[in-house]
Structure 1
Amino acid sequence: MRNLMKPLLLCLGLLLALQVQASTRVLYAGKNQPIGEVETYFMGNELVVTAQVTEVGWCLSASHLYVGEQAPTTSAPGQFPFQHELGCSLSDTYRVNVAAADQYVAYHAVSKQSAHPIGGTVSYMVQFPGDDSYLKAYIDGMGPYDAWCIDIGRSITPGTTYTNCELRSLNDQDLGVVDREENLGYAGWILNQDWSLYPEYSWKEIQAALWKLIDDNPPQNAAGGISWDEAKALEIVNMALQNGVGYTAASFEGLVVLCKNTNGVVNRQITLVAVPVAGFFIGEDTAWAQGSSNWYNSKGNMIGWGSYFLEPYSQP
């Protein structure tokens, strides 16, 4: 019995040693609108700062972070030492190497509000095939929208309404369930091309190109009830790789639909829905993690409403 208990005790001790004490602060957009939380904790020689959007319809497009042993002297986020471009993300994480000392922290983000319930649960139904896309999609009964499969490994049943589907932005930096997230920007480029100007490419080649860019096991010639010209599909892939770096959506934004089972596991085909750019975002605001200190000018007047806080050092 002693031999069995010793490994268990060692594992328990390891888990206790890895426990961390985290601080959680509200993330406000426009001073008065809570949209999420910012959590900070020390892990070894790192300070981990994680923002999580919890308000449906909001996302973060950029963030700026200050971490230091001295209080920040400027309230200008662009002068903070750490920055992220986030697209339209629901989460954001920094890991900053620090000394074993208390650290001042200021977290700022550019927040956006969408006309679509990003981060929320929607009903979803597809029809197959579309007139000029692989699928026609309906989100909460609205549509039809052009839609595409970016997940060849799962299936979805046309005409069936799924009610446990999470809506995310194509530009989310951390979807976590797409095989090759690094190529999602190229999918956005494909969505924004007027393919009617290139009649040599059908929607079947477009769908094949998306699979080749995003799926770990893309089909070579036929799948999903369709076949295509393989050479032309590869031409679209090459065009996207050459022209899609840092694309700006001109006509269509992308929504990614993740339909889940009762255990919260994505179990239906992940689809990319093209929605018009116009009206996609209905607002933008600055956002700050709630702090305990503000910035003041030489006359003692508060500068803006941003704030920072002191995170006491604690060794896990």
Structure 2
Amino acid sequence: MRRIFIAALVLGLLCIGAPAMAQTEDDPFATDLVAGQHTDAGDVLVWNDDDYLYVKFLAKDGWCLAETHLAVADALAAIPQTGNGKPEAKNGKSPAVNGNPIPGQFEYGECYDPCVGSDTFMIPLDDVGRGTLYVAAHAVVQKPGGLDGLEGMLPDGVTIQVTFGYEGGPAYLPEVTVTGGTTLDGIYPGWCVNTGINIEKCRDYLAAVYSSCGDIPSGAIDHPENLDLVNWIINQNFVGQQGSNGAYTYGDVQRAIWRLVDDDPEHETYTGYDESRVGEILAAAYANGEGFVPGPGDLVAIVLVPEGGQVIIVVVPVPCGEGEETAWGFGPRFVEKGNWGTYFTYTVE
């Protein structure tokens, strides 16, 4: 998702340059991770305890981290820059000025292949000091396309909350809210997988995350071999389309999914479906969906296995990919012209 920082840039420079109060992991200081000067590719989160400063790079919206570079110091001049601490060439009497930042000389950093969704650094406060700290957070971000790119960014676990379907709605679970500070955070349409376990609305569940095109834990789904047919179905957008026996409903689609993946698809007492329309969906899936693998721009089912709740799938777009960009934690620029590298401040009390 691209955002052009115009008014936000002015406001951000006024606000982000000011020191932040000490934060916790549950309530961190946050600034955008800006790629290519104009694209919000994630966040940089900062918090501390009595002994350590924590800096977390968190990618989002399909972006991931190929490299991270981090410098933290008690003075801006202590961050590696061209001409560090040298005065302007005006008889050698002007105050020291900033130069272009040099991420390759930053003290902390990692490289990843394949790229990852997040990276966290734990820095002893005895090494960087307390009070106002200057933070330069640089990354090389990628937006890999295709299923491999998406699967490489999936977190191991998330927190989920579901809403229940309503007449004329888009899905059996019209909104599955995914949180937890991961690359999967968002709101997605969802479908139930197994009928023998309930899931409650407006309740948080911790859930493990799996790609429907990858390995699924034994016992989570009765017939994972049919997930290719499920992926084909969710890419046809049946809900609301006219079939031979009227418009397809989310109940028709849900019943078809149960028939494909669950050993007891009739256990569910839900009646919001038409058997003839369910048969049409299944016949089309068997005729066209064998071996279907979602590609860039398609939809893919991501399997969520909650603790104490029903296994569900959420429908997630497969990214198309946008190459590679350099990114910085948003704040004032080191120099007015040239390199657009930025820094921000954080206060440890």
Q: TM-score, normalised by structure 2?
A: 0.44
Larger Rg belongs to: 2
Q: TM-score, normalised by structure 1?
A: 0.48
Instruction: Looking at secondary structure, tell me which structure has more strand per residue.
Output: 1
